[in-house]
Structure 1
Amino acid sequence: MHPAAEHSPLGKSSEYISTYTPSLLFPIPRAAKWAELGLTADTLPYKGVDFWNCFELSWLLPSGKPVVAIGEFSIPAESPNIIESKSFKLYLNSLNQTPFESVQAVEACLIKDLSAAAGKPVGVRVRTLAEVEAEGVHALPGVCIDELDVNISNYEQPQPQLLRCDAERVIEESLHSHLLKSNCPVTGQPDWGSVAVHYRGAALDHASFLAYLVSFRQHADFHEQCVERIFLDLQRLLEPQSLTVYARYVRRGGLDINPYRSTEVVTEQNLRLVRQ
């Protein structure tokens, strides 16, 4: 478990405060998890962003009438800190009985507090339910590998040795799976997700990649580090000219977390899947 997470509100009983309390936000330094992967802030081999979507965002108008909305937050992958998810939820709930003059005032407040916690500027969009509803749900690009026949027996730790490729064939392709599952490193609760990969490099064996993804099934780690581990393992294997890995996780506590890591500038949109 990440040492800082032991002191977070995750997995503990918490009082839900309904008036604005920015001190509820609990930053967790990324450095320890980067070190586990052999990385530092100066040697990150990817660019990226963590998209967070909040479906339980509400505040009061000056008249006392409540507003409900959906919040979209983009946290840079190179930011010094992630924000612990339960503290994020507690902080957002502290807006529930807080008056704001306008949506712009809500966004400005969120940008200020979340950027301070992350240690880098955080993007914020407060969206109406009608806007999000009009977008609908989307499908991941490329080939779904979930119907491949694979034999799997080890679920405790990611197994990069399962990965295979044909180094004689250089291709460009997109593929995805909905079978990603890992566990919260603090509470042990399951985290369900879909993962997508686009690359140009040595041809990846699809069945081996599926077996590798399933080996995360009992692995305990945060969403962000799971995606970074997948990115690094594929980068070592494929020696790609370009590589993008991202995951869309099912929400918990009104929040979903969607890490994107790429050798390129991330241009993908924050589009919901059917389980989101």
Structure 2
Amino acid sequence: MSNTPEQSQLGKASSYADQYDASLLFPIPRQPKRDEIGVTGRPVFLGADLWTAFEVSWLNPKGKPQVAIAHFTIPAESTHIVESKSFKLYLNSFNNSRFESHDEVKARLRTDVSAAIWHGGPVMASAGVKLLLPEQFDAEPVHELDGLNLDRLDIECTRYQPAPELLSANTLEAPVTETLVSHLLKSNCLVTGQPDWGSVQISYSGHQIDQAGLLQYIVSFRNHNEFHEQCVERIFMDIWTRCKPTQLTVYARYTRRGGLDINPWRTSAPGALPPNVRTARQ
């Protein structure tokens, strides 16, 4: 039987294990939500989910606590996501466990997360893991998403559930290539209803998308209950279907909760991952 969000620890009182326990990771299949947006076969998009964990700690062989920031890269082709609260519980299980080195911790993280995102199937693409130690913290930049800011537009907003009919493109003018950004993305946790705040960057080539309609569409997610990864895939598919660009990339950076941020990136063409650089709100 597939795991469902309602079966996870979301919204429930949880005891925090402080000894390493990989079984705490709770995988949720991607496909049911992809079925809702018409992705029933091979997706038209590629991509990854970029996670940052700010609360990572373990004990060295002498029992001295160690701390780090961890960057995770979860391939979008994996069959499962990992529910975020379970991810936090899993990371906390390292707190009172001893490891020989940070390399051992990194290897354990990669093995466990890779197994979870394929949930019993063969690991077709491992999760990427990068551990930043305290001497590297000062080099971590803060930078906003590049692009033309849609939020400058003085628009009226009346829709607060996803409304793809707000999207349109001008087919009478020459195609363009542009990057648009909004900081007004908000959705809610699928299970608890808690708010998820984000910024979104949309880069495309094709007929010019109506900017006012696009901003109203982004705002329309405000009362929508869905996980971060699912929202970004919904945005991608709505723009892809309604505006028919020749190339499209959607990248969202959500503010952290429980020491974790999740930043899904979906694109129609192979390319380098965006830098996992946090924004001011993160």
TM-score, normalised to structure 2, is: 0.94
Aligned residues: 273
Q: Tell me if the contact between 2:3 and 2:29 (Cα under 8 Å) persists in the aligned partners.
A: no
Distance in structure 1 (CA, Å) of the matches to 2:252 and 2:235: 10
Q: 2:237 aligns with which of 219, 225, 232?
A: 232
Which string of whole-angstrom CA distances, capped at 9 and with x for unpartnered residues, describes residues 93-141 of structure 1?
A: 0000011111110011001100000014111011124424313201211
Work out whether residues 189 and 196 of structure 2, in 8 Å CA contact, stay in contact via their aligned partners in 1: yes
**Alignment partner, residue 48 of structure 2:** 49
Match of 2:213 in 1: 208
Percent same amino acid among aligned pairs?
53
Cα offset for 1:265? 2.1
Which one of 162, 169, 186 corresponds to residue 165 of structure 1? 169
Structure 1 position 266, deviation (Å): 4.2
CA distance in 2, matches of 1:133, 1:205: 40
Q: Which ranges in structure 2 are unaligned for 5 or more consecutive residues?
A: none
Q: Does 1:196 align with 2:201?
A: yes
Whole-angstrom CA distance in 2 between matches of 1:258 and 1:48 = 11
SS at 1:146's partner residue? helix
Q: Contact conserved, 2:3 with 2:27, CA < 8 A, in 1?
A: no
Letter in 1 for 2:164: P
Residue of structure 2 in register with 1:8 after alignment: 8
Q: What is the letter of the counterpart of residue 81 of structure 2?
A: I
Q: Distance in 1 between matches of 2:278 and 2:251?
A: 13
Corresponding residue of 2:98: 99
Aligned 1:116-127 pairs, distance under 5 A: 116-119=115-118, 120=123, 121-127=126-132
Q: Does 1:76 align with 2:81?
A: no
Q: SS where residue 199 of structure 2 aligns?
A: strand
Q: Distance in 2 between matches of 1:54 and 1:254?
A: 6
CA displacement 1:11-49 (0-9 Å, x = unmatched)? 100000000011101000111111111113x32010000
Structure 1 spans left out of the alignment, 5+ residues: none
Indicate conservation of the 8 Å contact 1:167/1:238, yes or no. no
Once the two structures are superposed, residues 128-160 of structure 1 have per-residue CA deviations (whole angstroms, 9 ceiling, x without a partner) of 2442431320121110111201111121x2011
Work out which of the residue numbers 272, 277, 281 in structure 2 matches 1:275. Answer: 281
Q: Deviations over 1:59-105 (max 9, x none)?
A: 00001100110011010111100000000000000000011111110
Runs of 4+ in structure 1 deviating by more than 6 angstroms, as ranges, are none
Q: Which sits farther off after the overlay, 164-173 or 103-112? A: 164-173
- RMSD across aligned positions (CA): 1.3
2:61 aligned residue: 62
Residue pairs, 1:250-261, within 5 angstroms: 250-261=255-266
Question: 1:243 & 1:11 partners in 2: Cα distance?
Answer: 35
Equivalent position SS for 1:23: helix
CA-CA distance at 1:241 after TM superposition: 1.7
DSSP-derived class of the 2:6 partner: helix
Following superposition, the deviation at residue 254 of structure 1 comes to 0.4
Give the letter for the 1:158 counterpart: P
CA–CA separation in structure 1 for the residues paired with 2:162 and 2:127: 30
